[in-house]
Structure 1
Amino acid sequence: MNARLASWLALSALVVVVDQATKWLVLQTLADRAPIQVTDFFRLVLVYNPGAAFSFLADQPGWQRWFFVGLAVVICGWLLALLYQHRDETALPLAFSLIIGGAIGNVIDRIAYGAVVDFLYFHVGQYGWPAFNAADSAITVGVVLMLWTQFRPQRRPSKESPQ
């Protein structure tokens, strides 16, 4: 296996480990406890989200669990192929690795708990952002980086040839 590819896969594994470790800590700490107010705008909560981002399809009777597991597996397979193709670059493999690690972290939750464990809750007064977790953060950073890489102006080789 190419050393660069191995390092990108190691990053994905690190994302999974960090995600699962933080969720384990939250499950141990908040299982029988009220949310912990950290600042005026941030608290640690324990929320099980059976849906996707922003609780999309969370109100469905349960079929979405396996739908999202299957979707994540397909997307991870596609991203692994792209990761292999771009393994010697920097920005795109970083993006793919973050997304893969985050997706696997959330798949583990869906299989183990039937829903994704979310615990980071930012708010202003009564208005708040939906709770999320480390995997969601990695996915978001990865998608933003991937989009930035695709839409940034590409450097073109100089028309003048060296003499």
Structure 2
Amino acid sequence: MPEQHGNTAARPPFFPPRFWMWMAGAVLIIVLDQLTKSYFDSNMAYAERWSVLPFFDFTLLYNPGAAFSFLADGQGWQRWLFTAIALGAVGLILQLLRRHPGQTLFCASLACILGGAIGNLIDRIMHGHVVDFLLFHWAGWHFPAFNVADIAITCGAALLILDEILRIRRERRRRAKPAA
């Protein structure tokens, strides 16, 4: 039973302690993302490439669009569209992290997506484009360049899918279990 204070029951904190753990993870992603982008933006010329492996280069490219340069050839309006989408996603993710801080895999995925979304949002607001610097290629084929924020978002999305698969499996097992 909740502790009583006068006539009202004690409420859990608005931001539970585990919420701040997830925020720290997101901040770590943001810092790593911004430091790496700053390094490559300061030390490379646009479109310059540093060969690292036969299939991997560092490069400096600017993406005014979304993932894989979607809408990159727009007239500038896409910057504000993607900024608004990112702000909406950040708000939703913060609510979900606050409400479900104990769901480890779910919150880890959201923290990754949050850190990546804010990392790219900072670029859009400050520069009007996202700084990309990781380039995989093979025999004339090039995967679109990306950055640490993109890696975090992709890993977060994969973890979110895994979390849902595991939730469905648990639910099926629970329903299949005979009542005692």
For this structure pair, what is the TM-score category when the shorter chain's length is used for normalisation?
A: over 0.9
1:86 match: 100
1:29 match: 43
Q: Secondary structure at the match of 2:170?
A: coil
Aligned residue-pair number: 161
Tell me: CA distance 1:110–1:154, structure 2 relative to 1, closer, same or farther (3 Å). same
Greater Rg by CA:
2
Q: Which runs of 5+ in 2 are unaligned?
A: 1-14
Distance 2:28 2:46 in 1: 28
2:33 match: 19
1:9 match: 23
2:135 and 2:145 in contact (8 A); partners too: yes
Q: CA-to-partner distance for each residue in 1:99-118, whole Å, 9 max, x for gaps?
A: 00000000000011110000
1:142 match: 156
1:154 match: 170
Distance 1:113 1:76 in 2: 20
Q: CA deviation at 1:34?
A: 2.6
2:133 and 2:145 in contact (8 A); partners too: yes
Which of 48, 53, 58 aligns to 2:72? It is 58
Distance 1:40 1:81 in 2: 44
Q: Secondary structure at the match of 1:145?
A: helix
Distance 2:47 2:101 in 1: 44
Q: Which amino acid aligns with 2:54?
A: D
Task: Say if 2:63 is the partner of 1:49.
Answer: yes
Q: CA deviation at 1:16?
A: 0.4
Q: Which amino acid aligns with 1:135?
A: A
2:118 match: 104
Which of 123, 128, 133 aligns to 1:119? It is 133
Q: CA-to-partner distance for each residue in 1:18-75, whole Å, 9 max, x for gaps?
A: 0000001111211368310000000000000000011100000000001101100001
Which of 52, 74, 78 aligns to 2:88? It is 74
Distance 1:31 1:111 in 2: 21
Distance 1:43 1:122 in 2: 6
Shifted more, 123-132 versus 148-157: the winner is: 148-157
Distance 2:63 2:47 in 1: 18
Structure 1's consecutive aligned runs of 4 or more residues displaced over 3 angstroms after TM superposition are: 155-161
Q: Which amino acid aligns with 1:144?
A: A
Identity of aligned residues (%): 43
By relative contact order (CA 8 Å, sep 6+), the higher-ranking structure is: 1
Shifted more, 135-144 versus 84-93: the winner is: 84-93
Distance 1:61 1:148 in 2: 37
Length-normalised TM-score, structure 2 = 0.85
Q: Which runs of 5+ in 1 are unaligned?
A: none
Tell me: CA distance 1:132–1:159, structure 2 relative to 1, closer, same or farther (3 Å). same
